[in-house]
Structure 1
Amino acid sequence: MAIKEGLRPGGRSARVQESIHSAVRALLTEQDRASVTVPQIATRAGVTPSTIYRRWGDLAALLADVALARMQPDSEPASTGSLHSDVQAWAEQYLDEMSSEPGRNMLRDIQASPTPGCCATIIAGQLQAILDRYPDQPKPGVDHLINLVVAPSVFRILFCATPLEVGELQGLVEIALSQ
């Protein structure tokens, strides 16, 4: 369960959430994720474990919330001057970030999110920002790009020993933009 709706942004609830998120991020850098516990997080954040359980329900939901917060882009996708190179640059950066060990862990945590589709919404927003830069150009829809570029990338990151090679990714971008 995510933070309750209707809470004041920047109020005590936001400070508590940030304290808990910071504690999770710190613990994940210090120790193996399998050994992180709600009591450890609560102690680090200066709250009681019941605060965490009341807001998130369980550790998996908290880890998913932290991962989703980390996945939120802090800037617009790179603008390189063409639709093809913008999509290519975004896809290569996404593959690089998500195929790292922290990226793989974020994707695994997001799978446990009680709100399905959050990750897809973030990705769709990034891709739509790229598509919107080129209003007079024929282009595929966001779902098409997700299906042909992002989905194979995520599948390989999560379920294969090795992620896509950059050349394979470039081929998928070519296919996606040619249809």
Structure 2
Amino acid sequence: MNAEPPAKRPGGRSARVQAAVHQAVIDLAGERGAAQLTIPAVAERAGVNPTTIYRRWGTLQALLAELADQHEADARIPSSGDLRTDLEAYAVRTLADLTRPGGIAFFRAEVSSDIDERRSGLRECLQRATTGLDMVLEASRGRGETPPSLERLLDRIVAPLYFRVVFSVPDTDDAYAHALVADLFSDLSRPER
């Protein structure tokens, strides 16, 4: 009699460990700041052995990068039916993502060359940013609008937000994010010379 191998459980211990470790990183980043994160501290908070983290992620940078990937995938913005509103929501969410506890550390870990030479964190980070904007642009085109180019949105909205957060420029807040979009639309409404 041929016994079939037992079916794998969806999730199981591996999923529980991943969820516990992810939550431990988020909690500790919020309490202590991302600069104070260590694998032993994360392991203790998650209730796992540090070797479990080393075996699964290898380094703290890789773990932080995985969290950045997951957070971005979970934060898609639905279309409101208005391009300006959608771009404002995108800008505010991008700023919130970067300024959340550990946000900039997650970003730096994601684009670090130390993680995995086979993947380019910079390329993946840019791909996620452009995917979010592409969704906004597709919805706009679907309404028969002629939105600005993706490159223009990256230059006028995304790049200034990353720059100001990375370099801790004061007054980088939701009002600033809204102002970036307002400036873009102001320029779009001017007649070309």
Q: In the alignment, is the contact (CA less than 8 A) between 1:23 and 1:45 conserved in 2?
A: yes
- Which structure 2 segments of 5+ residues have no match? 1-7
**Aligned pairs (5 A) from 1:24-173:** 24-79=25-80, 81-99=81-99, 102-112=102-112, 114=116, 115-116=120-121, 117-134=123-140, 135=142, 136-162=144-170, 163=172, 165=176, 166-172=178-184
Q: Percent identity?
A: 34
Q: In the alignment, is the contact (CA less than 8 A) between 1:139 and 1:177 conserved in 2?
A: no
- Give the TM-score of the pair, scaled to structure 1: 0.74
Deviation at 1:96, TM superposition (A): 4.8
Pick closer, same or farther for the CA change 1:32–1:137 going to 2, 3 Å: closer
Q: 2:24, 2:14 → 1: CA distance?
A: 15
Q: 2:188, 2:97 → 1: CA distance?
A: 21
Q: Which one has the largest radius of gyration?
A: 2
- Which structure 1 segments of 5+ residues have no match? 1-6
Runs of 4+ displaced beyond 4 Å: 99-102, 173-179
Helix, strand or coil at the partner of 1:133: helix
Deviation at 1:19, TM superposition (A): 1.5
Q: Deviations over 1:32-86 (max 9, x none)?
A: 433322112122223222221122221122122223323333443451x322332
Q: 2:126, 2:152 → 1: CA distance?
A: 12
- 1:3 is matched with none
More displaced, 69-78 or 131-140? Answer: 69-78
* RMSD between superposed Cα atoms in Å: 3.2
User: How many residues are matched?
Assistant: 172
Q: 1:108, 1:119 → 2: CA distance?
A: 10
Q: In the alignment, is the contact (CA less than 8 A) between 1:98 and 1:107 conserved in 2?
A: yes
Helix, strand or coil at the partner of 2:74: coil
